[in-house]
Amino acid sequence: MDYDQLYGPCEPPVRPISDEEYRLRPNSAMILDADSSLLLTAYLDEKAAFTLTTVFAQTYHVLWLIDRRARILFAVEEVLDEKDKRIGVLPRSLLARPVSYVRLGHPSLLADPAKAARIGGEIRFDPDFEPGFSWILTNESGRYGTRPWQTEAHMNEARRLFASFGLQFPYDFIPPLPIPGA
């Protein structure tokens, strides 16, 4: 199977990686398989079903990417304080958290020192995007999802890979962005 054709070439990110993202992995990091797909489904269903927790769902997203071997890696984006102490999750907005706090973003999902991935993005709560779905799959990752060579076909194949584990999502493809400084 030609993974480059399906999901895009496996390349390092186009934006910088923090020291913490090289050294640490999120506690919530998993590889999508038959067991973890059940956990992810239960998590997403729970967050979408209860009004009390939809605030959480609207604020915090699940990061995902496809690695060299065409495996889906995923985690909630975790936050560290200035002493590398894990605080859990905080809102995505920089204005809503202290500047000294560090997010463990997409590169932290990868054990590979090159931090290379094929495509990545977020599973985002958006019940208004498509009727019948509470969550959407996006390629919203400035380091792995919107690189110049990413195509909507790659995004659709990522969606199909999730579906092979029973996770059905509509997707929102963000067109490629120019590489910073290029």
How do residues 29-44 score in pLDDT, each as one tens digit?
999 999 999 999 998 8
| Mean pLDDT of the region 162-174 | 97
DSSP-derived 3-state class of residue 128? coil
| Mean pLDDT of the region 64-71 | 98
* pTM, to two decimals: 0.89
Which H/E stretch holds residue 123? strand 119-125
pLDDT tens digits, one per residue of 68-126: 999 999 998 888 776 666 665 655 555 555 666 778 899 999 999 999 999 999 999 88
The position carrying tokens 């400035």 is 142
Contacts of 85 (CB under 8 A, 6+ apart): none
Distance CA 77, CA 90 (A): 8
Does pLDDT of 55 surpass 70?
A: no
Q: Of 159, 109, 115, which Cα lies nearest the Cα of 139?
A: 159
